[in-house]
Amino acid sequence: MEKNLKKIPLFNIHEMLGARFEEFAGFLMPIYYTSIKDEHLAVRERVGIFDVSHMGEIRIKGGEAKKFVDYILTNNIEKTDYKDVKYTVMLNEKGGIVDDLFSYTINDDEILLVVNASNIEKDYNHIKKYLWDGINLIDESDDIVEFAIQGPKAQELLQNFINFDLNEIKYFKFDYIDIYKENLLISRTGYTGEDGFEIYMNKDIGEKIFYEILNKGKYFDIRVCGLGARDSLRFEVCYWLYGNDIDESINPFESGQKFLVDMNKENFLGKEALKKIIEEGIKRKFVGIQTEGGIARHGFKILSKEKEEIGFVTSGNYSFVLNKSFALGYVNLPYGNIGEDLILTDGKREISGKIVKRPFLKPKVRKEEWMYKVIEGLFYQRSDEWLKVEDDLGIVGITDYAQDKLGDIVYLEEAKVGKVVNKGDTVISIESVKAAADIHSPVSGEIVEVNKEAINNPFIINEDPYEKGWLFKIKIKDKGELKDLMDAKSYSEYRK
């Protein structure tokens, strides 16, 4: 079997380091060196390095490269600038997820896509099928080595031997740095829920850079980490794994990746299918489940407490930080509410479960560098409420920044329909596990509707603050008051 598997460029080094290898995505990959738990906790507490050279790199070049990539991906790539990185999905014409990937904007004529190892050939052929005239497609996967340095000490470690100030690389940005006279691309995204960096280089210098990082990392008690820890780390923070949690049979609305889709773009591959899905209604939901009595693995059936089959498990694992077992999976609507009891089974044994909020463990990435979502076209006020205007009707909610600072929301007061309020008046209160806050009206008017779903299930305010988590609707008395509110750019600058 091993004769048919690919090997990453530094395979022999990992073998000397004592790696345990297994097949993954057609590669013979290091799974662990010491133990998955040891490597997992090293990344949570200190720093670890992953050789992820199995990942694919596809470069797209040409006069309209950015416009073409904007068409084949769901996120808005045309609005990106040099050094921007976008997490996004690529769809088929039915709206199914071909891959989830990262798009690096080198310039308007050049985009680098970093894709999943299992999808390199499929992605290349999928893109080629829709390729515009004058656009060149280059698969560089076999020539590139990629290291992911992850953990709270990642920046301190790397800063030790480069002159470039890594504070300049914000979250979901990239730049070029010199390490021992080699110019390398470095980005700040991560797949572990910790702060960290990805470094890309030609395979010819991979060994030299790898050993330099290990040598400097001794002071930080660095660990070389395998795919086992990479999976357990991403699972704790509920990041998706292609082939398990998402594939071409799943669309981004049901997977909880709506934030990656810009339906306001004029057109993109799969948009018409998504419009139809919206019209017909979402049929299932991606949920987190805490389990008791064992770990429910990929493929387990999900049953209601009445033992009706309502879904399936996509990932299951043990959290080394929380010391609990969890699962991810899809359940048919209207199931999927926080607190619902479930049964998970492989046909031989049953494991009890309860739907809980995702993520299981909150990511510790650099949100202070402003990764909070702010929606264009809305109005904002300094107390962190947003307002969407539809004719003389206003829809009011709290921002992503506000829900994050509040933490898990457990109570939403019901506004009184028919109540007349002035701009700035307190309308309702909201409570989380750690704080309470008053919600102020951005404009004067009459309360005409409240969000019953959010009152009954306040967690949706955390989960979807700009859509399902709206709070109340108000008939606007004076649109002249809108001039006192901020637009998206001003609010972002204010909160930074």
33 and 149 in a single domain? The answer is: yes
Residue 3 is predicted with a pLDDT of 59
Same domain? For 197 and 338 the reply is no
Tokens representing residue 454 in the block:
């959010």
Same domain, 341 and 419: no
Range of the domain at 182: 2-54+143-236
Q: Is residue 88 part of a domain?
A: no
> What CATH number does the domain containing 297 carry?
2.40.30.110
Is residue 378 a part of any domain in this protein? yes
Number of domains in the chain: 3
CA dist., res. 260 & res. 74, Å (int): 6
**Does residue 79 form part of some domain?**
no
Q: Alpha-carbon Rg of the chain, whole angstroms?
A: 24
Q: Looking at 236, 253, 273, which one is the last position of a domain?
A: 236
| CATH number for the domain that contains residue 171 | 3.30.1360.120
The answer to whether residue 93 sits within a structural domain is no
Segments of the chain scoring below 70 in pLDDT: 1-3, 366-371, 433-434
Give me the pLDDT at residue 135, please. 97
Q: Let me know whether 488 and 377 are in one domain.
A: yes
399 in the same domain as 351: no
The predicted pLDDT at position 283 comes to 93
User: Hunting for tokens 């909070």 — which residue is that?
Assistant: 372
The pairing of beta strand 135-139 with beta strand 110-115? unpaired
For residue 119, being part of any structural domain is answered with: no
Contact 186, 176 (CB under 8 A): yes
Residue 324: per-residue pLDDT: 97
Q: 222 near 48, Cβ under 8 Å?
A: yes
Question: Which of 219, 236, 253 is the C-terminal boundary of a domain?
Answer: 236
Shared domain check, 407 and 347: no
- Residue 130 domain-assigned? no
Among 217, 236, 255, which residue terminates a domain?
A: 236
pLDDT digit string, tens, across residues 95-104: 999 999 999 9
Q: Please name the residues in contact with 298: beta carbons below 8 A apart, sequence gap of 6 or more.
A: 244, 313, 314, 315, 316
Same domain, yes or no: 377 and 440: yes
Q: How far apart are CA 230 and CA 146, in angstroms?
A: 14
Q: Kindly report the CATH number assigned to the domain that includes residue 482.
A: 2.40.50.100
349 and 229: one domain? no
Does 451 lie in the same domain as 350?
A: no
Task: Please indicate, yes or no, if residue 217 is contained in any of the structural domains.
Answer: yes
Kind and range of the H or E element at 159? helix 154-159
Same domain, 44 and 184: yes
DSSP secondary structure letters along 371-421: -----TT-EE-TTSEEEEEETTEEEEEE-HHHHHHH-SEEEEPPP-TT-EE
377 plus 439 within the same structural domain = yes
User: Is position 80 within any domain?
Assistant: no
**Residues 171 and 309 occupy one common structural domain:** no
